[in-house]
Structure 1
Amino acid sequence: MNGGPLGSFPPPHPGTAAAGGPPVHPVNPFAPPGPGGTVPPPPLAPHGPGQIPYGYPGGYGYPSQPHYGGGAPGPYGWPGGAGDSNGMGIAGMVLGIVSAVGFCMWPLAVVLGILGITFGAVGRGKARRGEASNPGQALAGIICGSVGIVLAIGLGVLLIVQP
C-alpha cells in the first residue's frame, strides 16, 4: 500500500508520461495503414450489393408511379385499396359519441343520435360487403347514438313533466 496522496493506488509504470518518461502515443485505429499495408474491402451482403430489403415497394416510386394510391400496394405489403370508404363508420361513431356526451342539449342530441345510428348502419353494411375495414367503429356509432337518444329523450321528458 502506498501512503502517498493517491491512497492505495500503485505507482505509475515506468516509461509512461505520468512517471516522467517519454510520452506514449496510442495507436490510432482510424489512421491510414503504414507503408506496405493495405485496407481490406468492405464486407458484402449475402446476396450481393444493392439488394432491396424485403417489404419495400418495388416499382411504385416517384418516377414510375402512374397514380398515387387507390389499389397500389403500399409499404410493407399493405394493400392501398382496403379501407377506402371508412368514412361512414367513423362519422357514425363521432356523431354517436357527441350525442351521448351532449345529451343535455336534448333536441340536438336526438338529431345527432339519429344521424349516428344511420351512418353507423351504412358503415356496418359497407364493412359487411368488404368495402370498409371498420365494423367496430360503425357498431360504436350505432350503440352511442342509441344511448344518446335514450338519454336525451329521458332528459326532455323529465324537463317537460317537471311541475
Structure 2
Amino acid sequence: MSGANPGGFGPPEPPQQPPGGYGHPQGTPGYGYPNPAYPPAPPVAYPGAYPQVPGYVMPVQPSNGMGTTGLVLGIIGVVCSLTFFMWFLGVILGILAIIFGAIGRGKANRGEATNKGAATAGLVCGIVATVVLPVLGFVVFASFMSVV
C-alpha cells in the first residue's frame, strides 16, 4: 500500500521525488499550475513582420500598360482610318494612341516599363491613323472630284 498513511486512514501522502535529479527540483516551475513562489511569466510579444535582409529590395514589376494601350489603339485607329465611313473614329483613336504611346515611351526611358518597341509602334500607328491616312484619303477624294 504505497502512497497511503499507516493504517489506511486519512488523505494519501504526496508522491516522493524520484532520486537522481529526475523531474523538476523543488521550487522551480514545471508543467501544470505554476509554482506560487514564482510570479507568472510576462506575455510573449511576437514581431509584427519578418526581419528583412539588409540590402535586399523587392524588384518592381514593369508597368507596360500605357505602351500596350497605345499599340492597340493605334492598330484599331489605322484600320478605322482605312474605311471610308469610320475615318473620324480612326482619327480620335489615333490621337489617343499618340498620347498613350508617348507616355509609354517616357516610362520605358525612365526604366519603369520594358516595352519601348510596342510604345513606339503605337506612337507611329497613331500618327499614321491621325495624319497620313486622312490626308491621303482627302487627296484621293479631291483627285476623283477633279476628274469628274
TM-score between the two structures when normalised by the length of structure 2: 0.51
User: Do the aligned residues in 2 keep the contact of 1:106 with 1:153 (CA within 8 Å)?
Assistant: no
User: Do the aligned residues in 2 keep the contact of 1:91 with 1:116 (CA within 8 Å)?
Assistant: yes
1:93 aligns with 2:75: no
- Looking at structure 2, the residues matched to 153 and 114 of structure 1 have their Cα atoms a distance apart, in angstroms, of 15
Q: Which amino acid aligns with 2:137?
A: L
Q: Which amino acid aligns with 1:90?
A: T
Aligned-residue offset at 1:160 = 5.9
Q: Which of these residues, 107, 113, 130, is aligned with residue 126 of structure 1? A: 107
- Looking at structure 2, the residues matched to 109 and 159 of structure 1 have their Cα atoms a distance apart, in angstroms, of 17
Matches within 5 A, 1:110-149: 110-149=91-130
Q: Which amino acid aligns with 1:118?
A: I
Question: Rg larger in 1 or in 2?
Answer: 2
**Greater relative CO (CA pairs within 8 A, separation 6+):** 2
- Looking at structure 1, the residues matched to 134 and 79 of structure 2 have their Cα atoms a distance apart, in angstroms, of 10
Query: Equivalent residue for 1:82?
Result: 61
1:123-144 CA distances to partner (integer Å, 9 max, x unpaired)? 0001111111111110010111
Aligned-residue offset at 1:88 = 0.7
User: Do the aligned residues in 2 keep the contact of 1:93 with 1:120 (CA within 8 Å)?
Assistant: yes
Structure 2 stretches lacking a partner, 5+ long: 1-48, 50-56
Aligned-residue offset at 1:151 = 0.9
Inter-CA distance 111–156: structure 2 relative to 1 (3 Å threshold): farther
Structure 1 stretches lacking a partner, 5+ long: 1-63, 65-71, 74-78
- Looking at structure 2, the residues matched to 142 and 130 of structure 1 have their Cα atoms a distance apart, in angstroms, of 18
Query: Equivalent residue for 1:18?
Result: none
- Looking at structure 2, the residues matched to 119 and 82 of structure 1 have their Cα atoms a distance apart, in angstroms, of 19
The structure where helix makes up a greater share of residues is 2
RMSD: 2.3
User: Do the aligned residues in 2 keep the contact of 1:106 with 1:156 (CA within 8 Å)?
Assistant: no
User: Between the two proteins, what is the percent identity of the paired residues?
Assistant: 51
Q: Which of these residues, 98, 117, 137, is aligned with residue 155 of structure 1? A: 137
Aligned-residue offset at 1:100 = 1.2
